[in-house]
Amino acid sequence: MVAVDGLGWWGVPLAIFAGAIRVSTPYLLVSLGECITEKSGRINLGLEGVLIMGAMAGYGTSLATGSAWAGVLAAGLVGALLGLLHGLLCSLRRVNDIAIGISIMLFGTGLAFFLGKPLVQPQAPMLNAIPFGFWSSSPQIQSALQINPLFLIGIVLAVVLHYAFRYTRWGMQLRIVGDSADAALALGLRVLPTRILATVIGGFLAGVGGAFLSLYYPGSWNEGLSSGQGIIAVALVIFARWEPLRCLWASLLFGGAGALGPALQAMGITSGYYLFNAAPYVLTLGILIATGSPSRTLAGAPGELSLVRN
């Protein structure tokens, strides 16, 4: 990469900014989806598998149809299908959502690798970024402000969800079902269908998150595409205390921390590269320890979640 001319050290924050947006997009989409699912009282740990299936399906569809957006849609639908599978299986009696989640994760990953074999070589059409930096003559600024449309969709979604949980009927109903199945029954709400739907929507968003990986950044299909984003996004929801807007900030924080290593590397600082790459994980641990407390209950946790149910 070109070094620092023009902007000098300002290149670092700029690179982190651009990197944060890029890296955070899949976190954002997956965590918003998982936020919806968990608000209904279920955890879908299978999103890692859904993400990879989405990436594969998105890449394949884009290749076949020549339209990246068709790929995004296909990824979402495949994700929704896996979500439906999770939702239905968990609705059987005596079935545990965590165990099903882990099986979906393994199933999704394996299936994607199996079906995706022929997709490793060919180059599919990619999603185009929106050039918000057109006003500047500096190439760094222009490239930093190349913002991908899925990130923008994610922001809008986070804001919409934030209000929807409080101001709409379905938002309230989702929270009731997730917080107390007893209360939901007493109010005449249908618990299982609500949970299944919430898992389907969560799967859809995770699938779209996968499409981002294969169709924008890094923008190819191979078996090392995901580095656990699907799993981390689940932790991120807990970290964000089940609040969509906090999911947004947490994703950006994560993205920023993840972009730190590459940005410094681009500056020519290579010592401690691996250490910087570990930044997001250290950061999560640090914040979780700082904000957690053994004597307090996990504020904001939906009461029906198997994590917190007692």
Partner 1 sequence: MKPVEMVAPATGALELEIMGMSKRFGDVVALDDVSLHIPAGGFHALLGENGAGKSTLVKCLVGFYTADQGTVLVDNREVQIANPKDASQLGIGMVYQHFTLVPSMTVAENLVVARGALPAFINWHEERARLSDFMATLPFKIPLDKPAGSLAAGEKQKVEIIKQLYLQRRLLILDEPTSVLTPDEADEALGLVGDLARQKLLTVLIITHKFREVTAYADAVTVLRRGRFAGSGALPELTIEHMAEMMVGSPVAQDVAPRTQHTPVADVPPRLLIDQLCAQGDHGLPVLRGVNLSVRPGEILGIAGVSGNGQKALVEVLTGQRGKTGGTVLVNGLPYSGRRKEQTLNKVYSLPEEPLRNACVASLSVAHNMSLRNYDKPPLARWGWISQRAMRKQANGYVETFRVKTPGIDARIQTLSGGNVQRAVLARELSHPVELLIVANPVFGLDFNAVAETHARLLAARNAGAAVLLVSEDLDELLELADRIAVMSDGRIVFETPAEKADVRELGHYMAGGHEETEVMQ
State the amino acid at position 200 in one-letter form: V
Q: Measured from the CB atom, is 137 or 295 closer to partner 1?
A: 295
Q: How far is the CB of 4 from partner 1 (least distance, A)?
A: 47
User: Is residue 223 at the binding interface for partner 1, with CB under 8 A as the rule?
Assistant: no
Q: How far is the CB of 51 from partner 1 (least distance, A)?
A: 28
The number of residues that bind partner 1 (CB under 8 A) is 28
* Contact characters 158-197, partner 1, x per CB under 8 A: --------xxxxx-xx-xx--xx-xx-xxxx---------
Burial 67-96 (b: 16+ CB within 10 A, else e): ebbebbbbbbbbbbbbbbbbbebbbeeeee
Can you read off the two tokens belonging to residue 114?
């199996």
For 32-81, the DSSP string reads HHHHHHHHTT---TTHHHHHHHHHHHHHHHHHHHS-HHHHHHHHHHHHHH
Q: How far is the CB of 39 from partner 1 (least distance, A)?
A: 10
Q: Measured from the CB atom, is 102 or 301 closer to partner 1?
A: 301
First CA to last CA distance, the chain: 53
Report 278-297 residues binding partner 1 (CB under 8 A).
293-297
Q: How far is the CB of 301 from partner 1 (least distance, A)?
A: 8
On the question of a cis peptide bond just before residue 139, with omega within 30 degrees of 0, the verdict is: no
* Contact characters 42-71, partner 1, x per CB under 8 A: ------------------------------
Pairing verdict, β 146-147 and 130-131: antiparallel
Footprint of partner 1 on this chain (CB under 8 A)?
A: 166-170, 172-173, 175-176, 179-180, 182-183, 185-188, 293-297, 299-303, 310
